[in-house]
Amino acid sequence: MELRLQDIAKQLEALEDTIIFRCIDRAQYAQNRAVYEEGRFDFRWSNEDSLLTYKHRFSEETDAVLGRFRVPEERPFFSELPEPAESLKDTTDVGLYIEDYNSINVTKKIRQAYLDDFVFTGLSKKDDGEYGTTVELDIFCLQALSRRIHFGAFFVAEAKYQADPEVYDALIMAKDRTGLWEHLTRQSVENAILQRVEEKVQKIQEVSKPDVRVRIAPQVLTAFYKNHIIPLTKEGEVQYLLNRVR
Amino acid sequence: MELRLQDIAKQLEALEDTIIFRCIDRAQYAQNRAVYEEGRFDFRWSNEDSLLTYKHRFSEETDAVLGRFRVPEERPFFSELPEPAESLKDTTDVGLYIEDYNSINVTKKIRQAYLDDFVFTGLSKKDDGEYGTTVELDIFCLQALSRRIHFGAFFVAEAKYQADPEVYDALIMAKDRTGLWEHLTRQSVENAILQRVEEKVQKIQEVSKPDVRVRIAPQVLTAFYKNHIIPLTKEGEVQYLLNRVR
């Protein structure tokens, strides 16, 4: 199956809106650091997890049963999840050349970056007590980020490979991570993404008055794209190419 | 505790953006009617539910344990849910005068309206196979709608009561549903909501090109507000007042 980079780029662009929507919704609440503290709440089944970890694992266990992680762009944040009861989607040919989707999984880094450089950087330092909503919205954000990053990692890498197989084969044979990274990089495309994200964050938030909805500075999200989303996508692309089945 | 209608109206206005974000995200996928057909999938624990029902109930069971439904504006779509393991939020005084929050629960009507007049009216009639994502986004939409409608039902009703107790007491004593409905109605406020929603749906979607993101007609959402969100909120307000503890 031929993958066209142009189509994949459109899908990545579409996923931007979802990421922005969810980050703006999360920003309506304060940091609420209590939800990230391990052992803060005494749950029925665990008193060692943070509330975020507890709810997120629960959510992935349900989703695993429904087959969520059979799709390449949906990589789990947790391990030892139950087997799917049924595949809801035919995932036999999506056009990738990889044996184990989970050989590309940057979710740990996504979670750390999200907490450090979005929640603890972009949001109010207060505690508004809305803990349940906070972790729900955190999970929505993490899922949107992971979907975008892994979708790019798999499909952009394969499309770029198909457009230029000889050069990529040589870099893969040499296990040249730096060479792959450089050959995957399109600086003008990255700059266009950052500019577009800035405009979107600005315009979407203009629909409500600042005394009605909390606004986040567009720079918080453009910095997040520049420092995390784009590099983690490329890191995943390099992993994909090094694991590509020849 | 005094409730100010002005503050509550701002919160309802803020919840609009979340509803619009989630409906736009859902519209990126087709109707996918298979997910609403009972018995279509053979799950491990049930082969009678639709996929939406199955996942939504699972999600509410987790949320119930975490105490989601101790908050008045979060009313469950399902019954016989587990008891909360811990209350994450102090819900002792939110300023309402009601014994059982669940005496106001219009979730059945919300779900029916959402399917009939959003999914089956506003979305592409195709089947794109993205069943897992479809039901996930459905649940996000239903939760946003329910939160807005029930928040209004409880808090708008109480604030309006506090501003005008004699008239409301007389209507409540007479169990005059029509009179309560009319006295709660502010036509100019409702018109302003519809106009604002139309502008928001329009402007939020303008950030992406139509070949990148599916667009929904703003009229789909303004009609949904007019025919369902506003009337169901008022229906909930009437229920609240009739159940109000004197």
Specify the CATH number for the domain of residue B25.
1.10.590.10
CB-based contact (8 Å) between A48 and chain B? no
Taking CB atoms and an 8 Å limit, are B17 and A89 in contact across chains? no
Q: Is the pLDDT of residue A45 over 70?
A: no
Q: How high is the pLDDT of residue A134?
A: 97
Residue B184: pLDDT band with limits 50, 70, 90: very high
Phi/psi-derived region of residue B206, left when phi > 0, alpha when psi is between -120 and 50, beta in every other case: alpha
Question: Is A58 in CB contact (< 8 Å) with chain B?
Answer: yes
Residue A26 in this model has a pLDDT that exceeds 70: yes
Contact flag A131-B25 (C-beta cutoff 8 Å): no
Chain B residues within 8 A of A132 when measuring between CB atoms: 63, 66-68, 71, 88-89
**Cross-chain residue pair B213–A17, CB shorter than 8 Å:** yes
pLDDT at B84: 86
Q: Of the ranges A74-88, A138-152, B93-107, which one carries the lowest mean pLDDT score?
A: A74-88
Query: How many residue pairs bridge chain A and chain B with CB atoms within 8 Å of each other?
Result: 107
For residues B48 and B56, give the distance between their C-alpha atoms in angstroms, rounded to a whole number.
14
Query: What is the model's pLDDT at position B195?
Result: 98
Chain B CB contacts of A54 under 8 Å are 66
Confidence of residue A85 (pLDDT cuts 50, 70, 90): confident
- Mean local confidence (pLDDT), B63-67: 89
On chain B, the residues whose CB falls within 8 A of the CB of A13 are 208, 212
CB contact under 8 A, A24 and B25: no
Q: Rounded to an integer, what distance in angstroms lies between the CA atom of residue A191 and that of residue B39? A: 49
Contact B83/A at CB under 8 A: no
pLDDT value of residue A1: 75
Query: Which residue in A has a C-alpha nearest to residue B11's C-alpha?
Result: A212
Q: Is the pLDDT of residue B143 over 90?
A: yes
Whole-number average pLDDT of chain A: 94
Do the beta carbons of residue B134 and residue B218 sit within 8 Å?
no
Quick: pLDDT tens for B68-94: 999 999 999 999 999 887 655 556 688
Residue B241 has pLDDT above 80, yes or no: yes
Q: Please say if the pLDDT value at position B142 is more than 80.
A: yes
Interface test with B, best of A66, A71, A147, A221 (most B CBs within 10 A): A66
Residue B111 has pLDDT above 70, yes or no: yes
CB spacing of B67 vs A200 below 8 angstroms: no
Lowest average pLDDT, out of A71-75, A119-123, B61-65, B183-187, goes to B61-65
| Residue of chain B whose alpha carbon sits nearest to that of A57 | B62
DSSP per residue over B29-94, as a string?
S---GGGGSTTSS--SS-SSS-HHHHHHHHHHHHHHHTTGGGSTT---SSSSPPPPS--SS--S-S
What is the average pLDDT across A55-77?
93
Task: Check whether A88 has a pLDDT greater than 80.
Answer: no
Q: Can you give the pLDDT at residue A43?
A: 61
pLDDT digits (tens, 9 = 90+) for A142-199: 999 999 999 999 999 999 999 999 999 999 999 999 999 999 999 999 999 999 999 9
Q: What SS3 state is found at A204?
A: helix
Give yes or no for residue B101 having a pLDDT over 70.
yes
Determine the pLDDT at residue B2. Answer: 81
Q: In terms of Cα–Cα distance, which of B37, B32, B30 is closest to B51?
A: B37
Q: Which of B28, B63, B85 sits opposite A14 (nearest CB)?
A: B28
pLDDT band at A90 (very low <50, low <70, confident <90, very high): low
**A54 vs A46: CA distance, rounded Å:** 8
What is the mean predicted confidence (pLDDT) over B194-217? 98
Give the number of other Cβ atoms within 10 Å of residue B169's Cβ: 14
Return the sign of the alpha-carbon dihedral for residues B133, B136, B142, B147: negative
Nearest residue to A238 (alpha-carbon basis) of A166, A163, A149: A149
Mean pLDDT of chain B: 94
User: To the nearest whole angstrom, how far is the Cα of B172 from the nearest Cα of chain A?
Assistant: 32
- Closest partner residue to B25 (CB to CB) among A21, A85, A206 is A21
Count of structural domains within chain B: 1
CB atoms within 10 A of CB A174: 10
Of A152, A5, B235, the residue nearest B243 (C-alpha)? B235
In chain A, the residue whose alpha carbon lies closest to the alpha carbon of B18 is A25
By residue range, what is the domain housing residue B38? 5-243
- B45 has a pLDDT exceeding 60: no
CA A17 to CA B24: how far, in whole Å? Answer: 10
Residue A126 DSSP code: S
Cα separations (Å) of B120 from A82, A102, B130, B196? 33, 36, 16, 24
* Residues of chain A contacting residue B83, judged by C-beta atoms under 8 Å apart: none
- A46 pLDDT band, cuts 50/70/90, is low
